[in-house]
Chains A and B, each alone.
Chain A
Amino acid sequence: MTRSVWKGPFVDGYLLNKAEASRASGRNEIIKIWSRRSTILPQFVGLTFGVYNGHKFLPVQVNENMVGHKFGEFSPTRTFTGHSADKKAKRG
């Protein structure tokens, strides 16, 4: 069952303050969080979070397309080992 619209998206409150502080500092920093359940809000766009997956903090660089998703979606808890073959990584 989906969440009622009138409630608005769920987000742990302390994230908003920290995101604001991180943006104000203007430094290149990772905000380490355990809150995988929080929704990604437009105020988080451009910031980098380290989302805990039970083992380590995986960097999540937030962009516009990720708004509305949960942080946990980008930090899988199970190890994926694939072949690199011709796959590429783009430096952001």
Chain B
Amino acid sequence: MPERPILLGVIGRPHGVRGFVHVTSYTADPADIASYGPLADGRGRLFRLRWQAEGVARVAEIVDGKPVWVSNREDAAKLTNTRLLVERERLPAPAEDEYYLTDLVGLAAFGPDGEEIGQVGAVHDYGAGASLEIGPLIVPFTRESVPEVDIKAGRLVVRPPAEMVVQPAVKTLARAPEAEARS
């Protein structure tokens, strides 16, 4: 069992009669799951994957350091719902100012005055920049709002941005300035 296991995917149902299986990959690029080397199942077994088609892979169990490839449907069916884990240390070092979500979640958040605010519960990214959810507070993951991130110490410093509330006015539908200029 890896010390800090990261779930990368799950083996699904068998595919065909030659021992292939469907694999659900949770990695950023689904194909990357096969590139992290042997994957543990949390029960002491190690597996290796080789992609055959999109979402379909050939699986080998590593016995005494050698891969034993699954070659029939019955053996492949026994692997259904096997979780594929990897140790955190096996993930490559991220670039500057990039952080693994798994590292950020759980960090203790402190205010600029050193007062503890809470823990990072989730990291959101819906295409408009990442943001951290710290209790009821959601702060954009920027240098201004999160000036300090110390993964080793398990802490980050948060400077919550000021809030400007824009209440909807009575009926203020407006056209964009360029449309206004045209008319």
Contact = CB atoms under 8 A, between A and B. Distances in A.
Q: Tell me whether chain B's interface is mostly helix, strand or loop, or mixed.
A: mixed
Contacts, number: 168
Given A48-B140, A82-B26, A90-B98, A12 B162 contact: no
Q: Tell me whether chain A's interface is mostly helix, strand or loop, or mixed.
A: mixed
B28 A91 contact: no
Contacts of B36: 86
B172 A14 contact: yes
Size class of B's contact patch? 35 or more
B153 interface: no
Interface string B54-93: 0000000000000000000000000000000000000100
Nearest to B127: A74
Size class of A's contact patch? 35 or more
B52 interface: no
Given A28-B144, A30-B163, A76 B101 contact: no
Can you list the 4 inter-chain pairs with the closest CB atoms, starting with the nearest? A8-B179, A13-B174, A61-B129, A84-B101
Given A18-B164, A86-B100, A89-B125, 15 more contacts: A7-B179, A8-B176, A8-B180, A28-B162, A34-B168, A59-B131, A74-B128, A76-B126, A83-B26, A84-B101, A86-B91, A90-B97, A91-B141, A91-B143, A92-B143
